[in-house]
Amino acid sequence: MLSSEYQQTLREQIINEDGPGNVLRDFGTLLDFVGEREIKVSGVHQLLPMSTLAELNARLSKPLRILLRRPQQKSYPHINGLYLLLRASGLSLIEVKGKQPLLALDGEALASWRGLNPTEHYFTLLEAWLLRGEGEIIGDDRDPLGPLFKCSTFMEGLPNAGWKVAGDRQAEQLTIPYHVGTYNLALLELFGCVSVEEGRPEAGKGWAVERVKRTPFGEALFKLLSRHRLAAMRFELSEAELEEAATFGALQSLLQPFFPEWRRNLEIPQVALVNGLYVFKVSLSAKVWRRIAIPAALSLDDLSHAILRAYDFDDDHLYQFSYRDRFGVTVQVKHPYLEEPPSTDQVAIGEIPFRPGASMEYLFDFGDEWRFDVRLERIDPADGRIKKPKLLEEHGEAPPQYPNMEKDEEEDW
């Protein structure tokens, strides 16, 4: 049972653009920043370009002072955290123009966002962070513990009088960077759960943290959140609980008694089958590729068979397709024999949240590890005459599937 003191703290907390923390104000700044320009994201994780970071940092409520020659997105933990919220919330999309990925806002999701009140904004972002905020979105490793468990544990471990970080080598080099993550600490500050006293910036170093202290609201909020079943370590949760965690409103029944203004939740457009003839360029290298057309209603398993036929490979090994979804999280769809849903015979080509220019990896044979780049070039109108995958073009000679075996046979001869 939550203590009466904590309950009173939560009930008395007013949520608006001015608090708790600066998350609503600064997230609004990020939305405006993305909406007013064409941003060319870069790298595997499609992060913000270095050329935009100083300007965005200067627009935030509490610009960070750092003395780095070539700061990257992770050098600005508050920007890194806000970008995590943007991607995990589903308010953004990565579009491809030519071969250049661009960061854009999803108009339909943005319309739903604008229909929410400040309390609903706050808790939408809180759920995006604590339930959906995979570190891999911003280039960190995927954490099996989960952000809610990790941040609850960190908050519980903070001394009541606060924690002096500066001068504590273990805290500076291990506890904050690895145990909680600098972007999580920045988000705790942005959401008004901790106060962070900054130290004097040093040349060649990033965010200088002098002291961290829980706020009364942050202490009460995490005391409540830590009691929810979704605060368990991720590997302890069932498939149903993991699915619930990915749905906005998962924490609503817990928090709504203290914040009755939380009535609605953000609605993200659902993936619907996009009909048409999908044209993929399937490459092993720049000089060896095949162009394959496949109807939208056929499955990834059908595409696998088509790729192997195009390269004259035997279909005698397991495989998987991997791609990043609209939130920046890696999705793996595996061979039906692996019995790990969703399997490739259950996912239609037209159900993959792809736009022309996007790509996925096809890994065939977990021993020899043949890796194909499968890039969607275009979606042509549906053609009723084409009911099966069709090889449109081939370039370069396919390598032998078992080169070592052929070499051994030659030596035996």
Domains of the chain: 4-255 (no CATH), 277-406 (3.10.290.30)
- Please give the average per-residue pLDDT across 306-334, as a whole number: 93
Per-residue confidence (pLDDT) for residue 301, from 0 to 100: 96
Per-residue confidence (pLDDT) for residue 171, from 0 to 100: 65
Give the tokens for residue 103: 């960061």
pLDDT at residue 406 greater than cutoff 60: no
Q: What is the pLDDT of residues 97-113, one digit of tens each?
A: 777 888 999 999 999 99
Peptide bond into 342 cis (omega under 30): yes
Q: Which range has the worst mean pLDDT, 41-50, 223-232, 286-295, 385-394?
A: 41-50
161-170, 192-201, 218-227: which is most confident = 218-227
Q: What percent of the chain has pLDDT over 90?
A: 63
Closest CA to 318 of 372, 363, 365: 365
Peptide bond into 257 cis (omega under 30): no
Give the tokens for residue 125: 């972002």
pLDDT at residue 411 greater than cutoff 70: no
Q: In what order do the strands lie in the sheet with 163-164?
A: 163-164, 209-214, 194-198
Per-residue confidence (pLDDT) for residue 412, from 0 to 100: 45
Per-residue confidence (pLDDT) for residue 97, from 0 to 100: 77
pLDDT at residue 347 greater than cutoff 70: yes
Q: Are 100 and 145 in contact (CB under 8 A)?
A: no
Per-residue confidence (pLDDT) for residue 174, from 0 to 100: 59
Q: What is the pLDDT of residues 11-53, one digit of tens each?
A: 999 999 999 999 999 999 999 999 988 899 877 788 999 999 9
Per-residue confidence (pLDDT) for residue 201, from 0 to 100: 84
Q: Which range has the worst mean pLDDT, 112-121, 141-150, 288-297, 371-380?
A: 141-150
Per-residue confidence (pLDDT) for residue 187, from 0 to 100: 98
Per-residue confidence (pLDDT) for residue 144, from 0 to 100: 80
Q: How many other CB atoms are there within 10 angstroms of residue 71's CB atom?
A: 17
Per-residue confidence (pLDDT) for residue 172, from 0 to 100: 60
Query: What is the separation, in whole angstroms, between the first and last Cα of the chain?
Result: 79
DSSP collapsed to 3 states, the chain: CCCHHHHHHHHHCCCECCECCCHHHHHHHHHHHHHCCCEECECCCCECCHHHHHHHHHHCCCCCCCECCCCCHHHCHHHHHHHHHHHHHCCEEEEEECCEEEEEECHHHHHHHHCCCHHHHHHHHHHHHHCCCCHHHHCCCCCCCCHHHHHHHHHHHCCCCCEECCCCHHHHHHHHHHHHCHHHHHHHHHCCCEEEEECCCCECCCCCEEEEEECHHHHHHHHHHCCCHHHCCHHHCCHHHHHHHCCCCCCHHHHCCCCCCCCCCCCCCCCCCCCCEEEEEEECCCCCEEEEEEECCCEHHHHHHHHHHHCCCCCCCCEEEEEECCCCCEEEEECHHHCCCCEHHHCEHHHCCCCCCCEEEEEECCCCCEEEEEEEEEEECCCCCCCCCEEEEEECCCCCCCHHHHHHHHHHC
Question: What average pLDDT does the chain have?
Answer: 90
Q: What percent of the chain has pLDDT over 70?
A: 94
Against a cut of 0.85, is the pTM above it?
yes
- Name which residue leads in pLDDT, 342 or 127: 127
Give the tokens for residue 177: 């960077």
Q: What is the pLDDT of residues 264-285, one digit of tens each?
A: 999 988 766 778 999 999 999 9
- Name which residue leads in pLDDT, 65 or 242: 65
